Amino acid sequence: MIERAQVAHAAGLGSLTIGDHHDMKVPYAQNTPMLGRLLAEWVGRPAGCLFLTPLWKPLLMAEHIGTLAAMHHAASPGVPFIVQTGIGWGDAQFTNLGADMSRRGRDIDAVIPIVKALLAGEAVTDNYFGLAEATVGLRSDGPIEWWIGGTADVAIDRAARLGDCWYGSPGQDDESIRRGVERYRAAGGSRFALRRDAVLGPDARATQSLARDLTERGYRGLPFERLLSGSANELGERLGELRELGVDDVIVRCASPDQAGAITTLQELGR
């Protein structure tokens, strides 16, 4: 992950963010300690991480964001720190973290305003979460952007109401993007960032073949058409199409199963 961050920075990519999963059966670097390390490789550009918000206690989430934002803004004054939020899924994650999946919609709507207030320096009392004059001791006065994830209508409305950006899904097709953007803009939203997985390289045919093989073997449940594949030329054409659909930012995750392929993908993104 350190090497990928270094290569992505050298390639000129615009931002760095890390995901959030729990109760994993394979090695998985948790978001906040890993980002703390990677900030040393990522200076002068936006950085942040995802929080599956219903799985986090609001004070704990605010404290982690406050520390990371303070670190980021010390090295990169005036550069936004990005908080991405997701509603989460999977019974195991919720059960083993003591969360209730049936309340996740209510929880994410309640958590975001509380965390914002804590990061603004307020002392927060809240009966729903049992907070009594809670405060965050280390935080930053620098800019923090809120990217609100989800594809359901209620999530899109939440993004327009509580966020600076709607954070789309890697599984969205063009019609879902078009409908979602229309709803989001109508609700007052201004910025849409779409997630996409990518396998890229100078040999377009070879990387498209690899992407097709990955999806046929069940890669993240995504069809081939949802991956970005090919070379920089094909990618440029596809990004132009996404821009026409209303996409402002594309957030890329390397789909390559090996480090060399991931590095090549990042370098091709730079081109």
pTM: 0.95
Q: Which domains, and CATH codes, for the chain?
A: 2-149 (3.20.20.30)
Alpha helices in 89-166 (DSSP H): 91-96, 104-119, 153-162
In the numeric block, the tokens 């969205």 are attached to 172
Q: For 83, list phi and psi in degrees, rounded to 5.
A: -110, 115
Residue 15: its pLDDT value, please?
A: 98
**How distant, in Å, are the alpha carbons of 16, 127, 226, 229, 231 from that of 242?**
20, 43, 12, 14, 17
The span from the first CA to the last CA of the chain, in angstroms, equals 21
Q: Tell me the pLDDT tens digit for each residue of 198-254.
A: 999 999 999 999 999 999 999 999 999 999 999 998 899 999 999 999 999 999 999
174, 110 contact by CB (below 8 A): no
CA–CA gap between residue 42 and residue 9 (Å, rounded): 7
256-264: average pLDDT: 94
Q: Tell me the pLDDT tens digit for each residue of 122-165.
A: 999 999 999 999 999 999 999 999 999 999 999 999 999 999 99
Q: Confidence band (pLDDT; 50, 70, 90) for 92?
A: confident
Residue 145: its pLDDT value, please?
A: 98
Q: For 145, list phi and psi in degrees, rounded to 5.
A: -100, 140
Q: Tell me the pLDDT tens digit for each residue of 174-187.
A: 999 999 999 999 99
Tokens of 243: 């821009």
Q: Tell me the pLDDT tens digit for each residue of 8-36.
A: 999 999 999 999 999 988 999 999 999 99
